[in-house]
Structure 1
Amino acid sequence: MAERKARKDAVRNREAVLAAADALFARCGRPEDVTMADVAEAAGVGKGTLFRAFGDRAGLLRALYEARLEPVREAAEAGPPPLGPGTPPQQRVPALLDALLCFKLDNRRLALALEESGNGSPYQAEHYERWHGLLRAVLEQVPGLTDSDFTAHALLAATRADLVEHLAGQERVPRERARAQLANFATRVLASEPPGELSAGD
C-alpha cells in the first residue's frame, strides 16, 4: 500500500511540475530565465524531487516538450489524413511539416529553450530522430526522390526553433504566411527533378 501511494505521489508531483513549467515558459520573456528553483516553487515541490524525477533542466524540458508533442506525433504516425498514413506522400510531407511548424509557433519559448539547452547535438535528441525517421519513410515513397535521408534533414531545418523564433519574433512574419511559405518550399522540393548525370562530353 505504501509503495502504491508513493507511486501515486510521484505521478502527481510529475504532473504538477510539468503544469508549473508549462505556465512559466508560457509567461517568460526569455526561456533561460526559468530556473529549476522557479519550477519547484511554482509546483510546490522540493528541488530534490524535481532533480530525482527529471535529472536536470534539460531533462525537464524534454519531458515537457514530449508531453505537448505526443498528440501531434500520434496523429502523424497512425492518425487519419492528412497527417496519417492514408495520405499520398506528396501531400503528407507538407502536412507533417505544417503540424510541426504550428506546434513550434504555439510553443516558441519551450522549443527554443530545449534546442538551446546545450545538452549535446539537437540532431541526436529522441524527438528529432523520430520526426526525421517518420519524414524519411514518407519521402522514400516519393517517385524520383533519390536522397530521402538528407532531404528529411533539410526540410526539418526549416522548422528549427531558432528560425521559427527569428521569423515570428524578429521579422514578425504572420502565422499563415509562414505556413504558406513552408508549404511552398516543401512542394518545390518534392517537385524538383533529380540532377541528371553529366555526359562523357561535358
Structure 2
Amino acid sequence: MKRAMRTLKENTPLLLFWALLLLPASSWAVDLAAVPARWSPPDGSAPITMWGFIQDTGSCPAAPVAWDNGPVLTANPGASLTIRLRNCLDEPVSLVIPGQAATLTPQTFTDGQGRARVSAFTHEAAPGAVATYTWSNLRAGTYLYQSGSHPAKQVQMGLYGALTVGSAPPRAAGTNEEKNMYARLAVQRIIRRSG
C-alpha cells in the first residue's frame, strides 16, 4: 500500500501534465481578412476578379492576392471559436457559419416601397474596419464559413472557407479536388452572369 501511494505521489505531476495536454482547447481565435483577389484560369484566359479570405497580417495587401479558398479552420467539439475579420474591401462584410449556433444581429435597410429588408445576417465590418464574431459550443462536423452580407454576391465572389470541428478523416490522394469544387462552381456562375 505504501509503495502504491509513493508511486502515485511521484507520478502525479506527470499524470497531470498529460491530462492537461490531452484536454481539448476550450477556445480558438483566428484573424482573417477579406481582400481583393484574382483567379487565373488554367487555360491562360484573362484573370478573373475575385474576393477571398486570407490570414490577417495586420494590414490590407497593396495589390490583389492570388485567389484561393479561405484558410481551413479547425476546432474541437464543444469549444468556442472567435474570428476577427479585417475588411479590405470597399463594401461591408460579415461572417456566418451555417449549421453553427450564434447570436446574429441582422442588418436591415428600407427599400423603395417602405419595407424593411435584410442586407446582412449579422453585424458587419465596414470597409477598413475589424469586426469580431464568436461561436460557442461548436458542433462536430465540416462546415463552410462565408460572408453573411449580400451572400448572393459575396459568396459567389469567393468569400468562403472550410471549418472542421473534430478530427477530420484521413484524406486520400487527390481529394484536394473536392476543395476546389466550390471555386470552380463560383467562377462558372460569375462567367455565366457576365457573358
For Structure 1 versus Structure 2, the TM-score category normalised by the shorter chain is 0.3 to 0.5
TM-score scaled by structure 2?
A: 0.33
Structure number with larger C-alpha Rg? 2
More helix by share: 1
- Give the structure, 1 or 2, with the largest relative contact order (CA under 8 Å, sep 6 or more): 2
Query: Which protein has the bigger strand share?
Result: 2
